[in-house]
Homo-oligomer: A and B are copies of this chain.
């Protein structure tokens, strides 16, 4: 009976897909994974994630784990999809690393995916005793083999964001600095949605978004006619995002 239960129950983990935007590229936050073993030495990358505690719900686990691995606090993490292919832990490298770091006998893991959009200047602990974090270009993921099925999870997170933007265009403001130009905003939309917006139509459409306001300020230190800055009122958006995402 006991043995049966051990095989039967998967572990449950959460994995966090954290996106940022540096003004030019959409970025994803990845964790360095290193194994020095008799059998193998390697170092590769994975999403910030780990196994949930016995007594915590999924949302709390995601918040705790992202904080433990990156120092990030008060991040709005949204659950978007769970991944449970029995083969997702079948790579021996993944299995060895997991068993060494968790000190658990690992069979199968069902993972719950969370996504967050954050300002890229948020305070992150990139180097700690146990972890190294780093921002990578999302477009570079095509050439990086992440641990487990993390390429797939990141791809699904991006699809989820694209879908959400159709309903709540304001969610992308989370990626921008407090003051931004219309060009920065357009670049961001075009990158996320893989489109090429018409400059005038885009501006017209954006200005219909409640909370987006032109400031009496222009961008500084630019070697040409300084473009106007815009800001987005936080209160309204937060409410909408939490209630409807």
Interfacial residues, chain A to chain B (CB-CB below 8 A):
1-2, 4-12, 51-52, 54-58, 61, 79, 81-86, 104-105, 107-108, 110, 112, 163, 166-167, 244
Contact = CB atoms under 8 A, between A and B. Distances in A.
Contact of A58 (B8, B84, B107, B166): B84
Contacts of A85: 57
Contacts of A61: 84
26 contacts: A1-B105, A4-B104, A5-B104, A5-B105, A8-B11, A8-B104, A9-B9, A9-B10, A9-B11, A10-B52, A12-B12, A52-B84, A54-B86, A56-B86, A57-B84, A57-B85, A58-B82, A58-B84, A58-B110, A61-B84, A79-B81, A79-B82, A82-B112, A84-B112, A110-B110, A163-B244
Given A6-B6, A163-B244, A166-B167, A12 B57 contact: no
Nearest to A57: B85
A220 to B, nearest CB: 39
In the complex this chain forms, how many copies of it are found?
2
A152 to B, nearest CB: 12
10 closest Cβ pairs, A-B complex? A9-B9, A58-B84, A82-B82, A57-B85, A12-B110, A82-B112, A55-B86, A57-B84, A10-B12, A166-B167
Contacts of A108: 54
DSSP class of A's interface residues: helix, strand, loop or mixed? mixed
A137 to B, nearest CB: 26
Contacts of A86: 54-57
A61 B82 CA distance: 13
Contacts of A166: 167
A193 to B, nearest CB: 14
Contacts of A55: 86
Contact of A6 (B5, B10, B244): B5
Nearest to A113: B82
Contacts of A104: 4-5, 8
A82 B80 CA distance: 9
Contacts of A112: 82, 84, 110
Nearest to A243: B159
A163 B78 CA distance: 15
